[in-house]
Amino acid sequence: MAPGFTGSPLDRVDHLRTDVEAFTALLNDWRGRVLGLEGLDPMVSPEGRLVWKSMADVSLEVELILLGLHEDKPHFVPLTDAKGGPPRSPAVWRALATMPAEDAAIYGTARSLIDWHNGHRYCGACGSTTKIFRAGWGRKCEGCHKEHFPRTDPVVIMLAEYQGKVLVGRQSAWPQGNYSALAGFLEPGESVEEAVRREIFEEAGIRCGAVRYVTSQPWPFGGSQLMMACVAEALDDQLSIDTKELEDARWVTKEEVQAALSDAPGKSFNAPPPFAIAHTLFRRWVAEI
Amino acid sequence: MAPGFTGSPLDRVDHLRTDVEAFTALLNDWRGRVLGLEGLDPMVSPEGRLVWKSMADVSLEVELILLGLHEDKPHFVPLTDAKGGPPRSPAVWRALATMPAEDAAIYGTARSLIDWHNGHRYCGACGSTTKIFRAGWGRKCEGCHKEHFPRTDPVVIMLAEYQGKVLVGRQSAWPQGNYSALAGFLEPGESVEEAVRREIFEEAGIRCGAVRYVTSQPWPFGGSQLMMACVAEALDDQLSIDTKELEDARWVTKEEVQAALSDAPGKSFNAPPPFAIAHTLFRRWVAEI
């Protein structure tokens, strides 16, 4: 199973973003499709797919971001000024979990871009207003002309492994019984491997040696994050939990992880849903890949 | 050999950054060390090490960023308003290449943080001024109170591999004969693996299948980048070069890469220096690890 929010079928056509003539032609293409949103949430069809509108449905004042081309058709998302964190409605989470992977990936990209634009309406260097450019893949400062580009925050998410068990933790705000891999933002001046070792030590007091990268996925909520999943060799299993970060952390066996991933009764903890990379990480660890 | 700019011996003491009392005590610790800078370049001792000053050498008005603790001593870098790209002086590059890895890693972290502060003196969301907080690991908006944190831009750097050869490219601005791995910024809505495949196709017209992550390193110039090095299985070797990005790209054998990494005469191209992750990537590919 591919990690969540990956697999977009859109060709990002980077070369067209800077080609004003080509971009204008795409904006005037009657076959263009515009992503349907309700605030920041995706509109979902009765079949559980994303809803696409036509160019005729969009007011002329709305700024459009070019998501890419698919089957020769330009796909856009309107730049709304709506702000917010992860979806509040369980129905939206259910829709994201059940829609085809390619739809979730397109929505994730669109959502990340909107959040980025709304967080960069002013230039961080000089405070002047910024203006959309590059077909929505940048903002340019109207004062100092600095160019700003939508990027992502790398996050490490990892299992420490010791004698056949892995370390899982939970935050106090989570539903009872839910556990996941530990995670944290990578900081300037660190490699992925160094960030993995630092986070495990900070949160659980465990020193680790070798770090093995497993896979990655984008995460479109609370900014635009690049989740990088790893397994780290723990040098011992004596936990010292940072209770500001974690309510609990414990070592679990392969059998416990398998049960957590299944619908079977009697599981010792609940694993995250399939579109979360921790789920993929658990699956890969159980399958030893 | 570890990737460049990794291996900092400093404990980042994340828990002390939010502890105002503890941070104040560190600022008043006479054993504190302050990184010596000339503009944005490192001051280098006759022995080729970083130069550390004492707290007494620093004006009271200078804002200090807590890099971390080492041997119980707090290590700071002064927040200067100097701005600039990569070092212009070959002497600085030579110094970075020859100083101990731990010194280069500390300098890289310090440099990334200074650049980040200078690019975030105003709030991107509302345009108000921001103020340093969290011991230099954040800025807080004085208008809307939004908190901003220093982060990094993920960059993929990769070798496409086909029948025992790998793809290298060069930009026209580079010294004659220099070639490296292809590279590009990861975009919102992509995994590492998807960004690798997209960049290789955009720059060289080559479609790739499986992507294997190799290693990572921070890069402190032109922002704060997280370089992630990968090898991708090319599906064919028919190049179609984007001449806006690359002046040339070609397939090279293991023997050519080995020669490029050595001081031997008769090499067919020059590889990047050891502190660049492309160098590490070439070495790992040749060693098949």
pLDDT of amino acid A101: 96
pTM of the model: 0.97
Chain A interface disruption, residue of B225, B226, B275, most A CBs within 10 A: B226
pLDDT of amino acid A246: 97
Whether residue B158 sits in one domain with residue B280: yes
Q: Is the alpha carbon torsion for B81, B86, B92, B98 positive or negative?
A: positive
Distance CA A61, CA A54 (A): 15
Report yes or no on B194 lying in a domain: yes
Q: HSE (CB half, 13 Å, CA atoms) of B56?
A: 2
Residue with tokens 């496409």: B160
State the pLDDT confidence band at A1, using cuts at 50, 70 and 90. confident
Number of residues that this document lists for chain B = 289
Report yes or no on B234 lying in a domain: yes
Give how far B151 is from chain A: nearest CA, Å.
6
State the pLDDT confidence band at A65, using cuts at 50, 70 and 90. very high
Domain that holds residue A208: 153-287
Quote the number of domains for chain A. Answer: 2
Burial A230-269 (b: 16+ CB within 10 A, else e): bbbebeeeebebeeebbeebbbbeeebbbbbbeeeeebeb
Give how far A265 is from chain B: nearest CA, Å.
34
Please count the other Cβ atoms lying within 10 Å of the Cβ belonging to residue B24: 11
A107-143 pLDDT per residue, tens: 999 999 999 999 999 999 999 999 999 999 999 999 9
> What CATH number does residue A82 fall under?
3.90.79.20
Secondary structure (3-state) at A232: strand
CB contact under 8 A, A122 and B119: no
Q: Residue A45 pLDDT more than 80?
A: yes
pLDDT of amino acid B196: 98
The amino acid at residue B279 is H
Whether residue B192 sits in one domain with residue B110: no
Report yes or no on A184 lying in a domain: yes
Number of residues that this document lists for chain A = 289
**Residue A125 with chain B: CB contacts under 8 Å:** 118-122
| Bridge partners, residue A227, by sequence | A155, A217
Nearest to residue A17, comparing CAs of A117, A126, A149? Answer: A149
Query: What ipTM score was computed for the predicted complex, to two decimals?
Result: 0.97
Give how far B120 is from chain A: nearest CA, Å.
4
pLDDT of amino acid B188: 98
CB contact under 8 A, B188 and A150: yes
**Residue B16 with chain A: CB contacts under 8 Å:** none
Q: Is the alpha carbon torsion for B188, B192, B193, B197 positive or negative?
A: positive
CB contact under 8 A, A188 and B6: no
| Bridge partners, residue B166, by sequence | B161, B252
Whether residue B171 sits in one domain with residue B82: no
Angle at A132 between CA A87 and CA A41, to 5 degrees: 15
* A220 close contact with B: CB closer than 8 A: yes
Please count the other Cβ atoms lying within 10 Å of the Cβ belonging to residue B15: 12
Secondary structure of chain B in the HEC alphabet?
Answer: CCCCCCCCCCECCHHHHCCHHHHHHHHCCCCCEEECEECCEECECCCCCECEEEHHHCCCCCCEEEEEEECCEEEEEECCCCCCCCCCCHHHHHHHHHCCHHHHHHHHHHHHHHHHHHCCCECCCCCCEEEEEHHHCEEEECCCCCEECCCCEEEEEEEEEECCEEEEEECCCCCCCECECEEEECCCCCCHHHHHHHHHHHHHCCCEEEEEEEEEEEECCCCCEEEEEEEEEECCCCCCCCCCCCCEEEEECHHHHHHHHCCCCCCCCECCCCCCHHHHHHHHHHHCC
For each successive 10 residues of chain B (289 residues), what is the average pLDDT?
94 96 95 97 97 93 97 97 90 94 98 97 98 98 97 97 98 96 98 98 98 98 94 98 96 97 90 95 93
Whether residue A282 sits in one domain with residue A221: yes
pLDDT of amino acid B60: 87
| Bridge partners, residue B50, by sequence | B44
Report yes or no on B31 lying in a domain: yes
What is the rounded average pLDDT of the residues A271-280? 95
Least CB-CB distance to B125: which of A8, A121, A226?
A: A121
B236-256 pLDDT per residue, tens: 999 999 999 999 999 999 999
Distance CA A276, CA A52 (A): 25
pLDDT of amino acid A121: 98
Residue with tokens 């693996």: B193
Tell which of A133, A148, A163 closes a domain.
A148
CB contact under 8 A, A218 and B191: yes
Secondary structure (3-state) at A280: helix
Q: Is the alpha carbon torsion for A232, A289, B228, B264 positive or negative?
A: positive
Q: Are A128 and B129 in contact (CB under 8 A)?
A: no
B88-105 pLDDT per residue, tens: 999 999 999 999 999 999
Give how far A272 is from chain B: nearest CA, Å.
19
Report yes or no on A29 lying in a domain: yes
State the pLDDT confidence band at A44, using cuts at 50, 70 and 90. very high
Distance CA B43, CA B249 (A): 37
Give how far A116 is from chain B: nearest CA, Å.
9
Name residues 178-197 of chain B within 8 A of A (Cβ). Answer: 185-194
Q: Is the alpha carbon torsion for A237, A240, A242, A246 positive or negative?
A: positive
B202: which 2 tokens?
A: 């955009």
* Nearest-by-CA chain A residue for B277: A191
Whether residue B277 sits in one domain with residue B160: yes
The rounded radius of gyration (Å) of the Cα atoms in chain A is 21
Q: At residue A31, what are phi and psi to the nearest 5 degrees?
A: -85, 0
Q: Residue A247 pLDDT more than 80?
A: yes
CB contact under 8 A, A150 and B118: no
Distance CA A178, CA A171 (A): 9
Report yes or no on A2 lying in a domain: no
Whether residue B165 sits in one domain with residue B61: no
Q: Residue A266 pLDDT more than 90?
A: no
Tell which of A108, A127, A148 closes a domain.
A148
Report yes or no on A250 lying in a domain: yes
> What CATH number does residue B160 fall under?
3.90.79.10
pLDDT of amino acid B222: 81
Whether residue B44 sits in one domain with residue B159: no
Using CB atoms within 10 A of its CB, is residue A130 exposed (0-12), middle (13-18) or buried (19+)? buried
pLDDT of amino acid A265: 86
Report yes or no on A4 lying in a domain: no
Least CB-CB distance to A189: which of B105, B190, B216?
A: B105
Whether residue B180 sits in one domain with residue B62: no
**What is the pLDDT of chain A when averaged over all its residues?**
96
Secondary structure (3-state) at A75: strand
Whether residue A240 sits in one domain with residue A267: yes
Give how far A288 is from chain B: nearest CA, Å.
16
* A14 close contact with B: CB closer than 8 A: yes
State the pLDDT confidence band at A211, using cuts at 50, 70 and 90. very high
Whether residue A213 sits in one domain with residue A107: no
Tell which of A104, A121, A148 closes a domain.
A148
**Residue B137 with chain A: CB contacts under 8 Å:** 187
Least CB-CB distance to B191: which of A106, A112, A217?
A: A217
pLDDT of amino acid A143: 98
Distance CA B52, CA B65 (A): 14
**Residue A280 with chain B: CB contacts under 8 Å:** none
Q: HSE (CB half, 13 Å, CA atoms) of B247?
A: 11
Whether residue A122 sits in one domain with residue A66: yes
**For the residues of A38-60, what is the DSSP string, one character each?**
ETTEEPB-TTS-B-EEEGGGS-T
Whether residue A265 sits in one domain with residue A161: yes
**Residue A192 with chain B: CB contacts under 8 Å:** 216, 226, 228
**Chain A / chain B CB contacts < 8 angstroms:** 163
pLDDT above 70 covers what percent of chain A? 100
